[in-house]
Structures are given as C-alpha cells and as structure tokens.
Amino acid sequence: MRAVEKPPLIWLNVLLFLISFILAVVITPWYGYQQGYAIEHWIWLVVAFSFCNLSITAGYHRLWSHKTYQAHPVLRVIFALGGAFALQNSALHWSSDHRVHHKHVDNNDKDPYSAKRGFWFSHIGWMLRHYNQDTYNDYANCRDLQKDWVVMWQHKHYLLLAIATNIGIPLLLGIVYQDIIGMLLIVGALRLVLSHHTTFFINSLAHIWGKQPYTDKNTARDNGVLAFFTFGEGYHNFHHIFENDYRNGIYWWQYDPTKWLIKSFHYIGLAEKLRITPQIKIEQAKAKQALKRAIDRLEGRPDNTLIKEALNKEFEQMMKKLNDYFELKKQIVEQKRHNLVEKYERSLLLIRYRQLRTEFKAQQKRWNTVLAYY
Ligand SMILES: [Zn+2]
Ligand SMILES: [Zn+2]
C-alpha cells in the first residue's frame, strides 16, 4: 500500500520558522556571550513581546475573530500593527482560520489546526504545507470583517507592515541604543520566536493539557500555567464553549491580562459593548459536566444504578435552586433599572433574594460534597 502523499511544503514558512529559531537559540546567546546585553535589551524584549501577543489575543482573537467587544479605530490600528509585528498573517486570514477552528473543532478534515492530528501538526505543522490550498483565499466566513477598513488596510499592506515592524522597530532601537545587531537579535528574532510559540501553544497544548470543567465535547482544556504564558488564553475549555465572552478566565483570581486590558480600554472609552456569558449558563454547564464525569466514574461498579439515581436527583435539585436564584436576581436587576417597584417591595424582594442565595450556596456545597464522594 502506498502512503498518503503529503501536500507540498511552503518553503517561505519553513525557512522563516527555521531561520528565526536558529537565530534565537544559537546566534542570540552566542552574540550575548561575545558582546553582552544591557538592561534595555530585556526591557524592550518584554515590551515588544507583550505588544505582539496582546495584539493577537485582544485584537485578532477576541475582537476580530469572535466580536466579543467593539473597539475604537485607534485601537484597531494599534492591533493591526502589533499583529503584523507578530507575523501571524493578516487579521482577516487569521480570523477566518480561527472561525473554522471553532466551528469544526477536532474535525481532522475541516479544523485547520485540529488537535486530533497530534501536537506537532496543531502547533506548527499545519503552517508548513499547503494543507488548505483550495480555500486559502476564501474569506466568506468573515464578511463582517471585510467591512472594517482597518482589517482590509492591514490585509492589503500586510507584507509591507510585517517587514516594516519586524525590521524597522529593532533597527530603530539599535540606532538609539547603539547596538543594531543586539537589538535585531533580541527584539527581532528572540521576541518573534517567543511570541510565535507561546501563541501556537494555544492550538497545541491548550487542547492537550489541563482540565475540562465546562465540556468534554471537544479537546480544549483550562490550564493556569498556559494562561500565564499566553496572556490569559490558557482558559481554553471555557473559551470553546462560550466563545463570545470577552473573558477567557472568568474568575477574578484567574490570570487573564487580555481581559483586564479590554476592561481598561472600556474605562477610557476605547472599547465598548463588552459581551459576557450569563452566569446561570456558566453554572449549568459546570454542573452538567460534573454530573457527566461522576456518572462516567461510576461505570463498572455493581451498585451504580442507585447511586446514579441519587446523583441525578441531587442534580435536578441543584438546577432548580440555580434557576430560582438567577431568575430572582434577573427580576431585581430589571426592576431596579426601570424603577418599577416601591421601596418596601424592593426590600421584601431583597430578603427573598438573600434567602435564595443562601439556599443556593448550601445546595451547591452539598452538590460538591456528593461529587467529591463519588
Ligand atoms: Zn477562539
Ligand atoms: Zn482551540
């Protein structure tokens, strides 16, 4: 039997990844050993790295691919420049690929970087060959973005912008600090390689390593360690189920600087219409997934029918409390907004609300204890 032939290599990409990698891991340390680097090299490395990655996470990903908020043109231009500096193709192309990834996640024939094809393929392999040549220039799933002049301007001048930022910025810094080669290596090559691979980890590692608190219908995982290196994108399990949420790490303690950045832009008027998932939907998904996992764990146990029944009953009760609590919460917010009720009525509602909240928390605690037991 003849092996399936692989599509031809994209030599430009192969050489680009290979040369930048060699420059970053061999030439950069060697030059440092010979000439030494100063503090400004490292400061600018962090600044440029953050600029690139945040332009991808807050711009390419959460703004353009998923429309989780709306951004002022100034901000969009900044993201377009940072995206070109990150050298990950135009925002239009990136978003188109990414929307296909969400729509057909894990489908080896359709998902452009399907994690089911292995670590190497989802990390970088998918960019090394002409896998999707027929649909390469098909942006039908991004008609909305084609109306954004910043997206189209960047797409049209992508090559020029990519060269201007990747060579221009390190060169300028090199002239200012009188070390052109040093800056080209640190802010040029090393920054690019770090920025590339940390972003690529979201397609590879974030689909392999971590927990699945919300769904196991796809391979996406939540991982705090990855979130640290990816400006918050490590909470990928949440992201794949609630992709229209501007947050990936939804709890205050979850490290999601992209979320904090978007919120900060909102405060100064550069971002608006930030979308979040209703809390009730998040709680429902979490409880459903926990029930499913508990039932799976019980498989094979002889006495499992009764336990399953008890678990399901507990789950129903939990869902009921959850609905009652969030329904009342919604009512209170609505009434407050429209000033619908008298003061004394509102205080009655608030008492009921507090009571329901206590009941819900108790039910939730009970539910967690039951889950921990099985
Ligand atoms: Zn996404
Ligand atoms: Zn993904």
Indicate the residue among 272, 288, 316 that finishes a domain: 272
Ligand with minimal distance to 237 CA: 2
Q: What integer pLDDT is reported at residue 253 of this predicted model?
A: 95
37: CA distance to ligand 2 center in Å?
Answer: 37
pLDDT in tens, 240-249: 999 999 999 9
Q: What integer pLDDT is reported at residue 321 of this predicted model?
A: 87
Q: What integer pLDDT is reported at residue 9 of this predicted model?
A: 95
Q: What is the DSSP string of 77-113?
A: HHHHHHHHHHTS--HHHHHHHHHHHHHTTT-TTT-TT
- CA distances in angstroms from 168 to 42, 119, 172, 184, 203, listed in the order given: 18, 33, 6, 9, 29
Lowest model confidence (mean pLDDT) among 52-61, 91-100, 304-313: 304-313
Q: In terms of domains, do 286 and 253 share one?
A: no
pLDDT in tens, 288-303: 999 898 888 888 777 7
Q: In terms of domains, do 205 and 305 share one?
A: no
Average pLDDT over all residues of the chain:
93
Q: What integer pLDDT is reported at residue 357 of this predicted model?
A: 85
Indicate the residue among 235, 256, 272 that finishes a domain: 272
pLDDT > 60? residue 2:
no
Ligand with minimal distance to 98 CA: 1
pLDDT in tens, 158-190: 999 999 999 999 999 999 999 999 999 999 999
Q: What integer pLDDT is reported at residue 161 of this predicted model?
A: 98
Please indicate, yes or no, if residue 25 is contained in any of the structural domains.
yes
Structural domains of the chain, count: 2
Q: Would you state the structure tokens that stand for residue 32, as one six-digit string?
A: 């440092």
Q: In terms of domains, do 226 and 137 share one?
A: yes
Kindly indicate the confidence band of residue 3, based on its pLDDT and cuts at 50, 70 and 90: low
Ligand with minimal distance to 56 CA: 1
139: CA distance to ligand 2 center in Å?
Answer: 19
Q: In terms of domains, do 285 and 267 share one?
A: no
Structural domain range at position 348 = 279-373
pLDDT > 90? residue 337:
no
234: CA distance to ligand 2 center in Å?
Answer: 10
**Does residue 248 contact residue 233 with C-beta atoms inside 8 Å?**
yes
pLDDT > 60? residue 228:
yes
φ, ψ of residue 268 in degrees (nearest 5): -100, 10
Please indicate, yes or no, if residue 4 is contained in any of the structural domains.
no
Q: In terms of domains, do 149 and 268 share one?
A: yes
Q: Look up tokens 């909470």; give the residue.
A: 235
183: CA distance to ligand 2 center in Å?
Answer: 33
Q: What integer pLDDT is reported at residue 311 of this predicted model?
A: 85
Q: In terms of domains, do 153 and 49 share one?
A: yes
Q: Would you state the structure tokens that stand for residue 5, as one six-digit string?
A: 């032939």
pLDDT > 60? residue 305:
yes
**Does residue 365 contact residue 357 with C-beta atoms inside 8 Å?**
no
β-partners of residue 70 are 272
Cα distance between residue 286 and residue 207, in whole Å: 18
Q: What integer pLDDT is reported at residue 368 of this predicted model?
A: 83
pLDDT (average), residues 106-129: 96
The alpha carbon of residue 203 and the mean position of all alpha carbons in its chain are separated, in whole angstroms, by: 10
Q: What integer pLDDT is reported at residue 349 of this predicted model?
A: 80
Q: In terms of domains, do 41 and 128 share one?
A: yes
pLDDT (average), residues 356-368: 84
120: CA distance to ligand 2 center in Å?
Answer: 15
Going 179 to 160 to 262 to 100, the CA torsion angle's sign is negative
Q: In terms of domains, do 57 and 172 share one?
A: yes
Element (H, E) at 33: helix 28-35
118: CA distance to ligand 2 center in Å?
Answer: 13
Q: What integer pLDDT is reported at residue 341 of this predicted model?
A: 65
Q: What integer pLDDT is reported at residue 340 of this predicted model?
A: 65
- Give Cβ neighbours of residue 133 (< 8 Å, ≥ 6 apart): 7
pLDDT (average), residues 216-240: 97
For 259, how many CA atoms within 13 A lie in the half-sphere containing its CB? 22
Q: What is the share, in percent, of the chain residues with pLDDT greater than 90?
A: 74
**Does residue 170 contact residue 183 with C-beta atoms inside 8 Å?**
yes
pLDDT > 90? residue 137:
no
pLDDT (average), residues 111-129: 96
pLDDT in tens, 265-291: 999 999 999 999 999 999 999 999 998
For 107, how many CA atoms within 13 A lie in the half-sphere containing its CB? 9
Indicate the residue among 251, 272, 293 that finishes a domain: 272
324: CA distance to ligand 2 center in Å?
Answer: 34
Q: What is the DSSP string of 193-222?
A: HHHHHHHHHHHTGGGTSSB-SS--SSS--B
